[in-house]
A and B are shown apart, each in its own frame.
Chain A
């Protein structure tokens, strides 16, 4: 876009075309005060705070040339009235004056008017101290009001606007930022104005009230204390709070946030601005879901089973006993008799040490980051090869970008991705949403495709065929970077567009249109989620092939974005907590058991010891309890006494994310650092410390020649003093003093993390956010400036231009419901009521009641009405749920929200499960 040069208060500034005047002025270091304007929202010009004088070069109507004065300078025609800066885009030669007497007088007037109906209760207002109205009144307002106090408008105050948010209508200045955020950014039109004149007010239009997963952001951007975080209202004043940078532990978006601490208490959670990840937003689960940290159910002491009871013990005793017994098992039965499960909620540092503990000290290849239930997908390797290339910013992509969403429900799985994907469409990109059921994203899509569950892979294979049949593949890329296209063509023969269209009930021209948009786009982002994983490897391969043959990998703005289950599921794979691959997706000598196989082996008595950290197989599938009880030595490391911990021999209390340092890797492979905000609870310890302690105890016992040589070479005197940066931990000592030591080792050992040292994670540039000392007026909300860095996205394989990819194909399978069986689908839910939602009272309102959604046609056929109790049984087991007949799923499918309360693992035989349905009394 061409650049525009204009003059603001005598300062010449050059900005891209389309920039607003307020932003241009900011660029020049000049403040134009605003209330209703927000850099992320479409300007509306409601508050008139930004009035300025604007002039444009005079144009001679005859020649269409600027009129020049005697000095050869263009004559500027000033507009007769003051203009609002926020709705006026810049134009060439424009002259703007922001500090004339007239402008200052107008600002005074606007503020005096705003304050006529303002209660002026700053001393008890929770916005006081970070309130733009306060600040601008101090900066530009009149010092006295001519308005009689008794005539002020008076409402009942404050009232709850929703379960989480309170509204003080007296304070509202009717700027409509909240309404516009919900409409434009979140896509939930739940707020609106009511009445007219002095009774003009904000109200919630939805039932239940303020039904949006992003409601907290309206509090941030409200320029007054009208919208309030209900929990924070009496928590202290904002200047008494110390924000500690952290990363959200709830979902794989990895939003940057702060824990706002008043002494030892977390008072609120606020976003940190990171344009690469969450911009300045958070979802409500991230914002209000921190209360599990202070739950009184947290474990505070190591426990050991004595005489059938779990009793308290000391760390030293526990670690030494465990080391002794693990060592015993390894000596008597070999490393194969030991298994380890560590979940994607642990930090990278923990996970690295965990796999090192197993692979090096226990000689066991059996580690995994899954629960061992049948519905768990294959580990995702696609992002390693074709993940969103580094340098991709979903917040920048727009025109020319196609986003293909397959089997994902971003609103529930990764809420802030929903905002970012909507943004791509807002900026002119295409958003194609394919799923077996309607999701919230449909409303924002340029095209929705509805396939039958179980045909995810068929759909993508159909797309592949459409691309190849239309000859629209990227021939140059296919020639230079891929091989075996012919084999793929042959394999695709049964999956021609016509055949697939017929089979899965999607029109053939839909395939053609989608294929065209995918192949023709400059950038392609493929998003897939938990429901897509149902199709397993065939789907992943098909998606990879689609990105490959259209040449959409390895360039910024292109690649796949898998949404996995836990916040650090990606980190768990990166660190090699899985049977087949080591840290950094390297091959391992010996393939170990998967989580499922471990549970089985436990049941067969083949597994002598099992170490479970941050996972809960028994809660996921109560049937695995019997198997795990057979394990001779069961060690569980967790925050809570989970159902698995209750049957353990040792229970080790771990610290929560708020009490420790570490890094998480988000869905986009961005490694981000989080910091400790409070002290460890009781005797609990960070996971890495527990692993390191155990490692030290074990290393002292294990006399292995391999270790000795490693230790010897590490400790060999070189005549020089060792450089201080040298990691202190050796195979022999396992002496890690802090996560810095582990990070240094990871950077050294794991190739893809080469650029992810703590120093590099800290780099940030051009950050913006909460009004800083030098930027007091441009108000974009209470999100904090990012001081902890933007993190580092590790590079994918496809970014190395010399790698050639094989176009592999495997035959898709579909679950075959036998006669009368229906397909059970678990729909992810953000508010799942799980352990991490404990104590979050505000959120509990949103946790759905358990139900099973039945399609209308099936309900009629089987004589089911809403409220009937149904028993769903599969080969695995059964669950009983109340039926809700709704139109959300197509016939032949049952939809069950994935809530912690429903023991779905009991019946699932895969991500999709054929079940028999019968009515029961009750």
Chain B
């Protein structure tokens, strides 16, 4: 008897507080700054890709969710800085455990777990996100390449002059 009243009191209390449920998908819940959702492959401010195809993210990944296939940059029309870029970059979103290790491993801050969390698929194949899906639009890039990459654009040292 007493228990029943106790239970009803709790019910009554919540009847007059603000509800915690939100009516997703009409209303979306904001996420925290450090939330780890879908990955994005970033670009520099000049639109060049940050990823240098080094596979360090794949090596760091505890779920073996990342596959990188590198290729050589065409010096005339480079995709990114340096000799190498990722020709193929795939993340298997159902393997991924959203730990963010890839982000830590990346030497160029190319792979970043962003705030998008609506990830659902009709089949397993669709869960493998390709580079096209992951890559940021050209105009959304940020930042300057680090000196180590800028250095590559420096002209080579002049050949040694030997006085004979």
Contacts and interface: CB of A to CB of B under 8 A. Distances in A.
Interface in A221-245: 233-237, 239-240
B54 interface: yes
Given A150-B147, A155-B156, A195-B160, A237 B54 contact: yes
Interface string A112-131: 00000001110110001000
A237 B160 contact: no
Contact of B107 (A123, A150, A155, A157): A123
A195 B162 contact: yes
Nearest to A197: B160
Given A149-B151, A237-B54, A154 B107 contact: no
16 contacts: A119-B148, A121-B148, A123-B54, A123-B108, A124-B53, A124-B54, A124-B84, A150-B147, A150-B151, A154-B156, A154-B157, A156-B156, A195-B160, A234-B53, A236-B70, A240-B55
Contact of B71 (A156, A196, A234): A234
B83 interface: yes
A825 to B, nearest CB: 44
Contacts of A156: 156
B147 to A, nearest CB: 6
A149 B72 CA distance: 25
Given A155-B156, A199-B160, A149 B147 contact: yes
Nearest to A195: B160
B7 interface: no
A149 B148 CA distance: 8
Given A124-B53, A150-B151, A152-B151, A239 B157 contact: no
B159 to A, nearest CB: 6
A698 to B, nearest CB: 46
Contacts of B108: 123
B128 interface: no
B51 to A, nearest CB: 10
Contact of A198 (B72, B84, B160): B160
A804 interface: no
The 4 closest A-B CB pairs, nearest first, are A199-B160, A123-B54, A124-B84, A237-B55
Interface string B128-154: 000000000000000000011001001
A234 B160 CA distance: 31
A158 interface: yes
A803 interface: no
Interface in B79-109: 82-84, 107-108
B27 to A, nearest CB: 42
Of the listed residues A153, A196, A233, the one surrounded by the most CB atoms of chain B closer than 10 A to its CB is A233
B85 to A, nearest CB: 9
Contacts of A197: 160
B152 to A, nearest CB: 8
B113 interface: no
Contacts of A236: 55, 68-70
Interface of A: 119-121, 123-124, 128, 149-150, 152-158, 195-199, 233-237, 239-240
Given A233-B72, A237-B55, A154 B160 contact: no
Of the listed residues A120, A156, A196, A236, the one surrounded by the most CB atoms of chain B closer than 10 A to its CB is A236
Main secondary structure, interface of A, reads loop
A153 B108 CA distance: 22
B83 A124 contact: yes
B117 to A, nearest CB: 29
Main secondary structure, interface of B, reads loop
A153 B59 contact: no
Contact of A120 (B59, B69, B84, B148): B148
Interface in B6-56: 52-56
B58 interface: yes
Contacts of B155: 154
A235 B84 CA distance: 11
Nearest to B87: A234
Contacts of B159: 195, 199
A281 to B, nearest CB: 28
A521 to B, nearest CB: 50
B57 to A, nearest CB: 11
A120 B108 CA distance: 14
Contacts of A128: 54
A237 B55 CA distance: 7
A234 B52 CA distance: 11
Nearest to A123: B54
Nearest to B56: A123
Given A234-B84, A236-B55, 19 more contacts: A119-B148, A121-B82, A121-B148, A123-B52, A123-B54, A124-B52, A149-B147, A149-B148, A150-B147, A150-B151, A152-B151, A154-B155, A154-B157, A198-B157, A199-B160, A233-B72, A234-B70, A237-B54, A240-B58
A158 B147 CA distance: 19
A157 B58 CA distance: 26
Contacts of B82: 121, 124
A236 B69 CA distance: 6
Contacts of B157: 153-155, 198-199
B75 to A, nearest CB: 11
Contacts of A123: 52, 54, 56, 107-108
A196 B54 contact: no
Nearest to A262: B69
A236 B56 CA distance: 11
A235 B71 CA distance: 8
A120 B107 CA distance: 12
A156 B162 CA distance: 20
A901 B155 CA distance: 46
Contact of B59 (A121, A149, A239): A239
Contacts of B151: 119, 149-150, 152, 154
A152 B152 CA distance: 11
Contacts of B147: 149-150
A908 B65 CA distance: 60
Contacts of B68: 236
A153 B160 CA distance: 12
A240 B53 CA distance: 13
Contacts of A240: 55, 58-59
Contacts of A233: 72
A239 B56 CA distance: 10
A240 B69 CA distance: 11
A65 B107 CA distance: 61
Of the listed residues A149, A158, A198, the one surrounded by the most CB atoms of chain B closer than 10 A to its CB is A149
Contacts of A153: 157
Nearest to A152: B151
B70 A196 contact: no
A912 B69 CA distance: 52
A233 B73 CA distance: 12
Contacts of A199: 157, 159-160
A152 to B, nearest CB: 7
A550 to B, nearest CB: 57
Contacts of B72: 233-234
Contacts of A120: 148
B162 A158 contact: no
A195 B156 CA distance: 15
